[in-house]
Structure 1
Amino acid sequence: MTKQDVENAALALREIFPATPLQLNDHLSARYGATVFLKREDLSPVRSYKIRGAFNFLRKALAAGAVGKTFVCASAGNHAQGFAFVCRHFGVPGVVFMPVTTPQQKIDKTRMFGGEFITIRLVGDIFDQCYQAARDHVDAIGGVMVPPFDHADIIEGQATVAAEIAEQLPGGVVPDLVALPVGGGGLSAGVTGYFADTLSVDRFVFCEPAGAPSLKRSLETGGVVTLDQVDNFVDGAAVARVGDLNFAALRAFAPEQVMLLPENAICLTIIDMLNVEGVVLEPAGALSITALEILGRERLEGKTVIAVVSGGNFDFERLPDVKERAMRYAGLKKYFILRMAQRPGALRDFLNLLGDEDDIARFEYLKKSARNFGSVLIGIETRHAENFPALKARFDAAGLRYQDITENEILANLVI
């Protein structure tokens, strides 16, 4: 991949959409005392950067003689939507394999983007089963598999993000830090490759969800690692194995440059950007902005920062869960299991322990654990995180037996 190749790919992309904006964000710049630019890939026609790699792959495959072939992909997310859009653009048949468990919203959007040129097949309960079915179909029909990230033409397509950034930066401005979200590594491999001769390796930070640290673990061991399990909450970046080509392009970076971001912290970013900026981000799209919050003002002040916002395909049915997780991360909501006396006035006595800014969000008797006592699950919201230490002190002074289960993932998942 050369710079000229990437710039040619970027020029070809103008057939289907203009360059996504590189926007100076006043809100984040003021928060960190920095100059923060957001590369808004959530404003592409399919609300993610994935359309770039899919377009470049099909463009080059058709030029190389794949006319008349059926193109195939396996995806339940942004890659499927980008693939579908591009198949319709080129007027070629495409088959998208999705797990049976794929939300209907994603199926409908893929069908909308692809129109008559796309066939959707629902196969298997998990992605691995779906992916194998796609590969079997390619073999059976002599089709062309379009991978989501581990291919030179995909990487080259994603690198067009960097070509646009270079053109859009104000004259003479050189970024001190570029924050890149990482799933399979196609975007990171492309962007760092394009900037290899202009930005030193220490100017990049890679942003992975804590529950899917495939790049970090691979850099730590010096070879590609397949994770035994991943947390799928950040579905656009929850990848068990970084691409082989992508890792080869990224192996010179230090493991310390990969930030593992808590899923609940990502939720806080989603809520903040929605409420303050009116920007809708999917969890993967919020990774790079979350990294800025973890780095903090002390490390960012006075610097020029670019955060690539990778996507905005957010299912609003997830909003209650995202808000819940955001409040827990911010320390504004906690869950307790209380041992409450079974007597008249016990509940009133408990309510008197709450402060003026505390509110009960959930109250549920779990079971009557003894003749005179019962176990209660209670969720409490407050306006300021510092209210909880004072509340716990009042619990202790009253002799109340309780357990804070907010950060106990196993127990919280069972009862909340």
Structure 2
Amino acid sequence: MPEEILRRVLTAPVYDVASETPLEVAPLLSKRLQNKVWLKREDLQPVFSFKLRGAYNCMVHLTDEQKKAGVIAASAGNHAQGVALSASKMGIDAKIVMPQTTPPIKVNAVRNLGGNVILHGDTYDEASKFAKQLVASEQRTYIHPYDDLDVIAGQGTIALEMLRQHSGAFDVIFVCVGGGGLISGIASVIKQVSPKTRIIGVEPEDAASMTEALKAGERIVLDQVGIFADGVAVAQVGEIPYRIAQTCVDEMITVKTDEICAAVKDIFEDTRAIAEPAGALAVAGMKKFVEQYSVSGLEMAAIVSGANMNFDRLRHISERTELGEKREAIFAVTIDEEPGSFKRFCELLGGRRAITEFNYRYADSSRAVVFVGVRTEGGKPEREAILSELAKQGYAVEDMTDNEMAKLHLRYLVGGHAKGIANELLYRFEFPERPGALLQFLTQMSEEWNISLFHYRNHGAAYGRVLVGVQVPPEQNQAFECYLQNLGYTYVNEQENPGYQLFLKPTA
């Protein structure tokens, strides 16, 4: 299989539409990581993503009859733009099925490139299913985003460029993984030309379909897929990419949302370019690899795979970057509710460290719980030192730095415990960003259940983050579970979250 991919790569005419992108040294990252870091700038393609390569290479191999009948694709963004531009270049009619939740900036980009956009479903899987139905009814050719030999070969042309642009072999190349088309194309080429170069795939922790597949020895379907890095939000990797990865990918690394945000900033500081979350995955994985293995002096490359970023997502990314860089710690600290205690606590923390956030509201006459952010430079060891120092001073403290509910919702809700609310259940949801999503949530809910808490956050993504408290009589808990299952939204039970217990749980 890799031999066939390499053969196709060598004859792929991708430069009819794509550009040979630069391979640039990242001086700030290189100095910080103590390795020479190279960035392959696929964010500089005409559609701001590598996807153009594979889409065009697939379509150029269509027969005259297939070209006349037209093509169809399903995508939430980058692949759609690649297909639309390629179709425009070749004079082919293209229909692109995109989820209704797709941000307008991406829909408009596809339309501006000449694609006929059809909005259908809330997810990529629903859009893909509908697109395949149109294949049968309209006799169009389906252009798969990753599970196709010519698509993979198109992406593999990136590896040929890197080999030409760099004198000597790379020690490690980091590649983001969604469906697997990019890494399988790059790995197929590199492993035959430079077999000692390690190929490492990087996925978000909550969308690790290739990691789990390689671990299980077979392709698996994830029950839930995190959508922060929407460009790689795939529940199951492609069959062809999986087979290639089994022999050509050396290791998989998973990273957290905060680490992705920090990588977006790292790329910006070296290039002044803003990568989308999926586009920064490889850099996030590189940083984690260096930390885990304490390596130095290596030649490392990361693929900056795309820059189709909604501007309003930058607020969320900026907010989470300090945590991803391990330069901020978040704590919940219990202090005495008495004159002077607030000042003493601030003096203990603020005398030597910068306080980044402080939330407090009076709860009762005996104790108070404060939500506090502290600037750190020493990562986890410094965080542990702060915990130890607070404990020595007699404070009860909870580390909230890795608590997703706290970072998404709690920091905006600190306001004291509610009183007199019985049988409250707390859940965190991802609502699709489309008209009627909230109404559906409310319509399916029993009128016997009362909403006691509601906090909604959206950051320009396809899904909004919602924290909901609902009063449900104990005898109806099973019915509530059925409601959650039938609703179809991603959800997490936060009943035992320490943030809820400390700040929000109702008192008698």
TM-score exceeds 0.5: yes
Which amino acid in the other structure matches residue 159 of structure 2?
A
Q: In structure 2, give the amino acid aligned to 1:6.
A: V
Q: 1:360 to 1:130 in 2, by over 3 A?
A: same
Give the conservation status (yes or no) of the 8 Å contact 1:355–1:391: no
Q: In the superposition, relative to structure 1, how do residues 409 and 120 fare at CA in structure 2: closer, same or farther (>3 Å)? A: same
Residue 419 of structure 2 is matched in structure 1 by: none
Q: How far off is 1:350 after superposition?
A: 2.8
Equivalent residue letter for 2:78: N
Deviation string for 1:194-232 (max 9, x for gaps)?
234322266222222222221122112221111111222
- The runs of at least 4 consecutive aligned structure 1 residues that moved more than 6 Å come to none
Change (3 A) 1:397 1:83: same
Worse-matched range after superposition: 391-400 or 14-23: 391-400
Counterparts of 2:335 and 2:30, CA distance in 1: 48
- Pair 1:266-2:260 in alignment: yes
Query: Which secondary structure state, in structure 1, belongs to the residue aligned with residue 286 of structure 2?
Result: helix
Q: Identity across aligned pairs (percent)? A: 30
Match of 1:285 among 279, 287, 292: 279
Bigger RCO of structures 1 and 2 (CA < 8 A, at least 6 apart) = 1
Map of 2:27 onto structure 1: 26
Write out aligned runs for 1:307-318 (5 A): 307-318=302-313
The alpha carbon displacement at 1:150 in A equals 0.6
**What's the counterpart of residue 77 of structure 1?**
77
Q: 1:182 — aligned with what?
A: 177
Counting only pairs closer than 5 Å after superposition, residues 316-355 of structure 1 correspond to structure 2 as 316-355=311-350
Q: 1:378 aligns with which of 372, 381, 399?
A: 372
Deviates more, 1:392-401 or 1:72-81: 392-401
* 1:203 to 1:338, Cα distance in 2 relative to 1, 3 A: closer
CA apart distance, 1:48: 0.9
- Inter-partner Cα distance in structure 2 for 1:104 and 1:46: 16
**Aligned pair partner of 2:124 in 120, 123, 127:** 127
Specify every segment of 5 or more residues in structure 2 that has no aligned partner in the other structure, as ranges.
412-508
Q: Check 1:135–1:373 CA distance in 2 against 1; reply closer, same or farther (3 A cut).
A: same
Tell me the distance in 2 between the aligned counterparts of 1:158 and 1:139.
28
Aligned to 1:40: 41
Task: Count residues in correspondence.
Answer: 406
Q: Residue 335 and residue 106 in structure 1: after superposition, are their counterparts in 2 closer, same or farther (change >3 A)?
A: same
Amino acid of the structure 1 residue aligned with 2:193: T
Measure, in 1, the Cα distance between the counterparts of 2:287 and 2:294. Answer: 10
Structure 1 CA distance for aligned equivalents of residues 93 and 176 of structure 2? 31
Segment drifting more, 33-42 vs 258-267: 33-42
Q: 1:39-73 CA distances to partner (integer Å, 9 max, x unpaired)?
A: 21111111111000111111111x45313223211
Query: 1:367 and 1:129, CA in 2 relative to 1: closer, same or farther beyond 3 A?
Result: farther
**Structure 1: stretches of 5+ with no match in the other structure:** none
Moved more, 394-403 or 262-271: 394-403
What is the aligned-residue RMSD (CA, Å)? 2.6
Match of 2:263, SS state, is helix
Aligned-residue offset at 1:364: 3.5
Displacement of 1:189 in angstroms is 1.3
Q: Which residue of 1 aligns with 2:115?
A: 118
- 1:300 Cα offset (Å): 4.5
Contact 2:171/2:197 (CA < 8 Å) preserved in 1? no
Which of 301-310 and 46-55 deviates more? Answer: 301-310
SS at match of 2:65: coil
Decide whether aligned partners of structure 1 residues 168 and 333 sit closer, same or farther in structure 2, where only a CA change above 3 A counts: closer
- Relative to structure 1, is the Cα distance of residues 272 and 18 closer, same or farther in structure 2, using a 3 angstrom cutoff? closer
Q: Tell me, in whole angstroms, the C-alpha distance in 2 between the residues paired with 1:393 and 1:192.
A: 46
Equivalent pair of 2:41/2:304 in contact (CA under 8 Å): yes
Whether 2:162 is the aligned partner of 1:165: answer: yes
Per-residue deviation, residues 313-359 of structure 1 (Å, max 9, x unmatched): 22232223222322123332233333344444443333222224544
Q: Which amino acid aligns with 1:180?
A: V
Contact persistence 2:29–2:270 (CA under 8 A): no
Cα offset, 1:182, TM superposition: 1.2
Query: Is 1:156 matched with 2:150?
Result: no
Give the whole-Å Cα distance in 1 for the aligned partners of 2:216 and 2:192. Answer: 27
Change (3 A) 1:174 1:360: closer
Distance 1:104 1:328 in 2: 29
1:227 aligns with 2:222: yes
CA contact (8 A) 2:170 2:197 kept: no
Q: What letter corresponds to residue 128 of structure 1 in structure 2?
A: D
1:239-286 deviations in whole A, cap 9, x for unaligned? 2111001111222246x6111222222211111221343132122222
The match for 2:243 is 248
